Amino acid sequence: MTEEVKEWWELTARWFQDDIDLDVGVNWTGVGVDDDLRLLLDVAGKDVLELGCGGGQCSVALAERGANVTGLDLSAEQLDFARDLAAERDADVAFLQGDVTDLPFADDSFDVAFNAYVFQWVDDLAACFRETRRALREGGRFVFSMPHPVYDLADPESHEVEESYFDTGRQVTPQNDLETDMVTYRHRVSDVYNALVGAGFRVERLLEPGSDDPDDYEEGPWGERRPELLAKLPSTLAVEARAA
Ligand SMILES: C[S@@+](CC[C@H](N)C(=O)[O-])C[C@H]1O[C@@H](n2cnc3c(N)ncnc32)[C@H](O)[C@@H]1O
C-alpha cells in the first residue's frame, strides 16, 4: 500500500512543487485558501517532528521560529527539494526518509508532532497515531490538518453528493497522462477521532475552517478547489490533541 503512495510521490514531486509553489509557512489548509490557523506559535526550543514533510516548507518555517525540527517523508524526491530549500534559507532541519506508520525514533523524542495534508495518503492511521504517541513525550502536542472527508463527496460542477461518506479506505483516481494512478484513503471524522483516542491522545479541539462567502476563497492551481463549493462544504479538518 505504502509502495504505491511512494511511487506516486517519486513520480510527481517535482511537478507538484513547481505547480504549487508553496510559501515557507505552516500551510494548514493546503492549496488555495491559506490561513495560518495559529496552532503552532510557541515552538521555540521545542523538539518538533513533521510527519510527511513534503518539500519542507512547514519544517523550515518552524525552524525559523526557533524549533529543533525533524522532517520525515516517504519520498526521496520530496526530501531533495526540502534539503535544497533549507540550505537556501540557511535553516537547520534534519530531514530523513521513512514511513509515518513505523517511525525510526526512540520513545519520548519529541515535544510536538504535526503535519498538513498528509493523512489522506495513509491507510493505517491507527498505526501512525500509535507511533506518534510513542515518539512524543507525555503531554506533547499533536496537531495536524487533512482534507475534510465530506468535501470530495460532491461533484465539483453540480455540487450534488456523488460519493458515499461511508465508502472509506482506498480511493483510486485514474491519471490518464501518467503511468500510475493516484491512490488515497478516505477516513471518516469518527475514524480519525477514535484512532487518536485509541492511541492514547486526548483530543482538545477539532476545527473546520471556512466561511459561507465564496469571495473568501481563491481557486487552487489545478482548479479542484472551487470558491462556490468551498463556501458550502468544509475542505479541511484540523485537529489538536495531547499525548495523555
Ligand atoms: C501533499 S504532501 C504534504 C506535504 C506538506 N505538508 C505540504 O504542505 O506540501 C504529502 C506528503 O506526504 C508524504 N507521505 C505520504 N504517505 C506517507 C507515509 N506513509 N510516510 C511518510 N510520508 C508520507 C508524501 O511523500 C508527500 O510528500
User: How many other C-beta atoms are found inside a 10 Å radius of the C-beta of residue 10?
Assistant: 15
Pick from 118, 120, 125, 144 the residue to mutate for probing ligand 1's pocket: most ligand atoms within 8 Å of its CB: 118
Question: Which residue among 121, 225, 236 is best mutated to probe the pocket of ligand 1, counting the most ligand atoms within 8 A of its Cβ?
Answer: 121
pLDDT of 90 reads: 98
% residues pLDDT > 70 (the chain): 94
121-140 pLDDT, tens digit per residue, is: 999 999 999 999 999 999 99
Residue 134's domain spans which residues? Answer: 2-243
pLDDT of residue 39: 82
In the 8-state DSSP scheme, what is residue 1?
-
Give the nearest ligand 1 atom to 99 CA: 20
DSSP code string of 53-96: -TTSHHHHHHHHTT-EEEEEES-HHHHHHHHHHHHHTT--EEEE
Answer yes or no: is pLDDT of 142 > 70.
yes
C-alpha cell at 152: 470530495
Give the SS3 label for residue 22: coil
Reported confidence tier of residue 32, pLDDT bands at 50, 70, 90? very low
Q: How many domains, the chain?
A: 1
3-state helix, strand, coil in the chain (%, to 5): 30, 25, 45
Q: pLDDT tens digits, residue range 160-212?
A: 999 999 999 999 998 877 878 899 999 999 999 999 999 999 999 999 988 89
Tell me, what CATH number does 118's domain have?
Answer: 3.40.50.150
The yes-or-no verdict on residue 33 having pLDDT over 50 is no
